[in-house]
Amino acid sequence: MQRRAFLQTAALGAAGILTAQIHQTPIEAAGETINETAKPERLHVAVNQFTANNLYGRDGKNFAEQLAEMKSAGVDGLEPSPNHPNEMENLGKKLKDHGLEIRSIYVGGNLHDAGNAEREISRIRSVSEKAKEFGAKIVVFNPAAKHGKSDAELILQTENVNKLGGELASFGMTLAFHYHTTELEFAGREFHHLLCNTDPKNLSLCLEQHWSYRGAGNSQVALFDHLKLYGNRISEVHLRQSVNNIWSETFGDGDIDNAKLANELKALKLPIHFVLEQVAEKGTPKTLAAGEIFRQSCDYIRRVFGNGDNSHG
């Protein structure tokens, strides 16, 4: 099932990962200020609802009934995909009961059609306001897909995205642009137009590292160029890996150089929220149950993108 189709019927789930930084804490002792290096925080790792639904679905399970297992496997939170405030309310309570945080949500919407845009902006705003009650700070937005949007549609979409981002910013939330291959077609005109013609205060970037790679013909050059062009706008990163261009069972070593990616992201010194988005496709191996996939993936993420703490629990 494709993500955009999933958004039409899904319940929800949310989560995230924030980059942890070693910091120094001033301690007052005997009238002197002493700098003492604090212990690095454990990296917060979140999972997107689509990922949880995909991996538990292939095990014949409902992810919403496996929240305790996800928590014990090292998952710290979920990134829900709510279509309505009531969905956000229902899942939000379940996640809270299991100690899973909601730092971001994922939404889609048609903002390139004048007949739909205002209604979509209103819907996304209402869902976001409810998500904020559960602690969410980032609203990841993927534009409705259409192959070959006209220049007029791209301009209108950008104006509406900028408007939506401004409205969310007014009550303390950050809009983040998420994309798939469609937005990278035709020299990436949709991808670049949105980022080049919106106020960075109104639109940040959710770096979708595997779609940057796949959407450019399986090119790490493109991925790292996207990072070079728009790295200072990244608020969130979705993590997915492939081996020989087939999505791998766990997030680990593979086609994308994660060590290089981690180093470049750390160099930005931004409070980046990381979300695991590993899913299975045709050809993906099936040797592990979902809980073990989450355990191994979270351990790897903390080891590579964090400060070396790969413990879970």
In the β-sheet with 138-143, what is the strand arrangement from edge to edge?
A: 77-79, 46-48, 273-276, 234-239, 204-208, 174-177, 138-143, 104-109
The confidence score (pLDDT) of residue 41 equals 85
119 lies in some domain = yes
pTM exceeds 0.75 for this model: yes
The confidence score (pLDDT) of residue 18 equals 34
Q: Count helices and strands (H / E) in the chain.
A: 11, 12
Segments in the chain below pLDDT 70: 1-40, 308-313
312 lies in some domain = no
CATH number of the structural domain spanning residue 167? 3.20.20.150
Q: How far apart are CA 212 and CA 220, in angstroms?
A: 8
311 lies in some domain = no
- Angle formed by the axes of helices 117-133 and 151-169, nearest 10°: 30
3-state secondary structure of 161: helix
Closest CA to 106 of 147, 63, 140, 64: 140
Find the domain containing 250 and state its range: 3-305
Residue 263: count of CB within 10 angstroms of its CB? 12
The confidence score (pLDDT) of residue 27 equals 29
Given a contact cutoff of 8 angstroms between Cβ atoms, the answer to whether 142 and 4 are in contact is: yes
Given a contact cutoff of 8 angstroms between Cβ atoms, the answer to whether 242 and 257 are in contact is: no
3-state secondary structure of 109: strand
The confidence score (pLDDT) of residue 33 equals 39
| 104-109 and 77-79 strand pairing | unpaired
The confidence score (pLDDT) of residue 9 equals 44
Q: Tell the residue number behind the tokens 């191996």, with chain if given.
A: 285
pLDDT tens figures, 64-88: 999 999 999 999 999 999 999 999 9
Given a contact cutoff of 8 angstroms between Cβ atoms, the answer to whether 279 and 239 are in contact is: no
204 lies in some domain = yes
Structural domains of the chain, count: 1
Q: How far apart are CA 17 and CA 40, in angstroms?
A: 15
User: Which token pair is 263?
Assistant: 């180093």
215 lies in some domain = yes
